[in-house]
Amino acid sequence: MSDLDLTRLTAVRLIDGYRAGEFSPVDVARAVLERAGRIQPEVNAFVRLTGEEALARARESEERWRRGAPRGRLDGVPVTVKDILLMRGHPTLRGSRAVSADGRWEEDAPSVARLREHGAVFVGKTTTPEYGWKGVTDSPLSGVTRNPHDPSRTAGGSSGGAAAAVALGAGPLALGTDGGGSVRIPAAFCGIFALKPTYGRVPLYPASAFGTLAHVGPMTRDAADAALLLDVIGTPDARDWSALGPAPGSYEKALTGGVRGLRVAYSPSLGGQVAVAPAVAAAVRRAVEGLAELGAYVTEADPDLTDPVDAFHTLWFSGAARVTQRLSERQRALLDPGLREICARGARYSALDYLAAVDVRMDLGRRMGRFHESYDLLVTPTLPITAFEAGVEVPKGSGQRRWTAWTPFTYPFNMTQQPAATVPVGTDAAGLPVGLQLVAARHRDDVVLRTAHALYEAGVASVAEPPAGAGGLRPGGR
């Protein structure tokens, strides 16, 4: 084991190693916690680490594996939880100084509860912008989360801490949330995999103030780990009235079969609506060519999609206003100024404004439904740019106002509730990762995962290795 860096292994590989007695959950937990502590000063991925609890759970798991009786499918596997999701015994502060840590914190979110039932080892709570409101990760509570590939750049958001932790080996699995791209954005910037499942596939409680835009999704080193994690967390929970019923089958088992014969629409710029950086466009095009070489029928085609940003803003800003509605003036003064600004705007919308945005959303969903009658998959860049400077909402000098200006490929598919994933497909000249987005029809998470897995198996997609840094570390690989 001396030559084996346990922080470089995927969850699938860890389970194989536990079963074979190659190493133990305690060995892995110690290695991951040591890595998390070393990267924290430079990248700031964690709100808190839960080391004593993690080691206690790892020791319990080690004993179960010794007896040949693992509790579940993730027994002993380290996982991190975004500090938007409830985790029993620890405050969930949502990146806000306006949220009190007082209280007993006795309940798990559904996804966290499923992980606990399957024996996962909780490493800690990861950073988020306040209430997950924007596409980068900085907050008045926890400061700025930085990119593993260049700490002067943003990790993206709002699940930025989760992405940085996975990229740097501080746990192979992470739970994130995605209301407009919040697992896909940071995964693309940090060079890992992330899936926004079909809405309702992963139950959410308490309900998000952003309503049915908000999804819970896996953030991992590859698609196989994401499928394993989705099998665990994608089961019904009575607390979520909008959750889907049981999955049609195992997502992990659905990974095989490849992409031969899949009908793929490749949209480089959504019909010229998006200006894509040349390095991003080139990397995505090379990956699409690889998809065609694997046997997919690839056609350059654009969905019937006009930018729904105004409708998205109505829904998003209204949700932000709702989540902060009961705060006192003293608490409001503690909020991120950008969040205060969108809350004020959201509070001015009428019910008719909101319903008009819902109409836009329903029509967009109808058009995408018709599109997927002709195509199994839509492929786009995940983002039109690579990671920009940390600590700002939009790139300096861009003239942009809000984070939605540079995420035009992600938020439309929150409005339509479709499954969408990002896979790393290269880097730009500065070594910053590029992501490719895979989108399928509602309820076809299996198609997204199977395609992503085929790209990893063929070497078209791979973990983008951070350079030596963040404590001189160079984690990565399977």
Query: Would you please indicate which residues are annotated as catalytic (active-site) residues?
Result: 82, 158, 182
Q: Kindly state the tokens that stand for 281.
A: 């466009």
Q: Which residue has the tokens 């809000």?
A: 402
CA distance 152 to 48: 22
Of 201, 207, 245, give the one whose Cα is nearest residue 226: 201
The CA-based dihedral angle spanning residues 340, 343, 348, 350, taken in that order and rounded to the nearest 10 degrees: 180
CA distance 218 to 239: 20
Q: In this structure, are residues 439 and 269 in contact, taking their beta carbons and an 8 Å threshold?
A: no
Strand partners, 300: 266
Q: In this structure, are residues 198 and 443 in contact, taking their beta carbons and an 8 Å threshold?
A: yes
Q: In this structure, are residues 49 and 37 in contact, taking their beta carbons and an 8 Å threshold?
A: yes
475 to each of 78, 124, 151, 257, 416, how far by Cα in Å?
A: 15, 19, 16, 30, 36
Q: Which residues contact 302 (CB under 8 A, 6 or more apart)?
A: 265, 267, 270, 271
Buried b (16+ CB within 10 A) or exposed e, 339-374: bbebbebbeebeeeebeebbebbeebbeebeebbee
Q: In this structure, are residues 229 and 448 in contact, taking their beta carbons and an 8 Å threshold?
A: no
CA distance 103 to 125: 17
Of 454, 11, 449, give the one whose Cα is nearest residue 248: 449
Query: 3-state DSSP call for residue 58?
Result: helix
The CA-based dihedral angle spanning residues 133, 176, 151, 384, taken in that order and rounded to the nearest 10 degrees: -70
Q: Which residues contact 221 (CB under 8 A, 6 or more apart)?
A: 10, 166, 172, 192, 193, 463, 476, 478
CA distance 356 to 367: 17
